[in-house]
């Protein structure tokens, strides 16, 4: 009788766990419907550097982490562009996840704000200085070096205010989350994020460039301006180089 009772309890546990396990499979958690899976993201990552011209930077966008969060800010999918994930900067895993969270957290149906456009606002002397301290990243959302994933269906948090994070939208123009890229210069991260979002068909209502990165040397100074990076390219056009250090 005791054996029978144990068997019933075990079967019941499997019955409860099975739907949860299925929800965490290839299609991601159940509350991530309509968002790309990890395998989708990896395909987009490997395709992005060869679409739209040179992405610039140190590695031309070939060594990247990508993360997607849903509208609740929970991690839905994470991928790495290399066969050996340790060959993308380990520190970029947390940055990609934080960028995805940030882009989602500060965008609306009517206003797409990439993390690149938030740069100036958060600098000393500007209106959002110190905002980055408001919501620190949770290191428990990290996968060990050499692996991918980490933090599934959790809110990792983190605030990043330089290029590489973009909000994502469904076909009806509703915001459904955020996408973060890291692994190169912040300017190149933005270029790849923009391309991955387009490949995934998740652009905002205003189109792929509505929240594009801007540079004072090309677009004039504004509160949305982002500094130049090493070997900066935008939409297939060379923009310039980060200024050399002076005085130290």
pLDDT more than 90, % of the chain? 84
How many angstroms separate the CA atoms of 154 and 7, rounded? 32
User: pLDDT by residue (tens digit) across 88-107?
Assistant: 999 999 999 999 999 999 99
pTM value is: 0.87
- In this structure, the strands spanning 175-182 and 232-234 are unpaired
How many angstroms separate the CA atoms of 166 and 169, rounded? 10
**pLDDT tens digits in sequence order for the chain, 248 residues long:** 444 444 433 434 433 333 333 333 334 556 899 999 999 999 999 999 999 999 999 999 999 999 999 999 999 999 999 999 999 999 999 999 999 999 999 999 999 999 999 999 999 999 999 998 889 999 999 999 989 899 999 999 999 999 999 999 999 999 999 999 999 999 999 999 999 999 999 999 999 999 999 999 999 999 999 999 999 999 999 999 999 999 99
Instruction: Count CB neighbours of 194 within 10 A.
Output: 28
Q: Which domains does the chain have, with CATH numbers?
A: 36-240 (3.30.450.150)
CA atoms within 13 A on the CB side of 190: 30
Sign, CA torsion 136/94/71/50: positive
Name all contacts of 27-30 with Cβ < 8 Å and 24+ positions apart.
28/76, 28/77, 28/152, 29/74, 29/76, 29/152, 29/153
């Amino acid at each position: 009788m005791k054996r029978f009772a144990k068997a019933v309890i075990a079967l019941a546990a499997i019955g409860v766990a099975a739907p949860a396990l299925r929800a965490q499979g290839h299609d991601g958690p159940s509350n991530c419907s309509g968002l790309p899976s990890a395998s989708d993201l990896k395909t987009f990552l490997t395709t992005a550097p060869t679409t739209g011209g040179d992405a610039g930077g140190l590695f031309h966008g070939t060594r990247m982490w990508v993360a997607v969060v849903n509208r609740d800010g929970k991690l839905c999918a994470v991928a790495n562009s290399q066969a050996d994930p340790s060959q993308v900067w380990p520190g970029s895993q947390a940055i990609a996840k934080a960028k995805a969270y940030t882009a989602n957290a500060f965008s609306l149906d009517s206003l797409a704000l990439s993390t690149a456009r938030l740069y100036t606002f958060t600098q000393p002397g500007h209106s959002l200085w110190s905002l980055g301290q408001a919501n620190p990243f949770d290191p428990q959302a990290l996968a060990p070096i050499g692996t991918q994933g980490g933090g599934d269906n959790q809110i990792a948090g983190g605030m990043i205010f330089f290029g590489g994070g973009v909000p994502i939208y469904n076909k009806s123009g509703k915001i459904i989350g955020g996408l973060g890229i890291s692994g190169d210069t912040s300017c190149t991260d933005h270029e790849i994020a923009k391309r991955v979002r387009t490949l995934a068909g998740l652009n905002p209502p205003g189109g792929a460039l509505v929240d594009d990165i801007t540079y004072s040397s090309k677009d004039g100074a504004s509160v949305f301006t982002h500094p130049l990076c090493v070997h900066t390219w935008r939409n297939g056009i060379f923009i310039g180089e980060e200024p050399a250090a002076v005085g130290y």
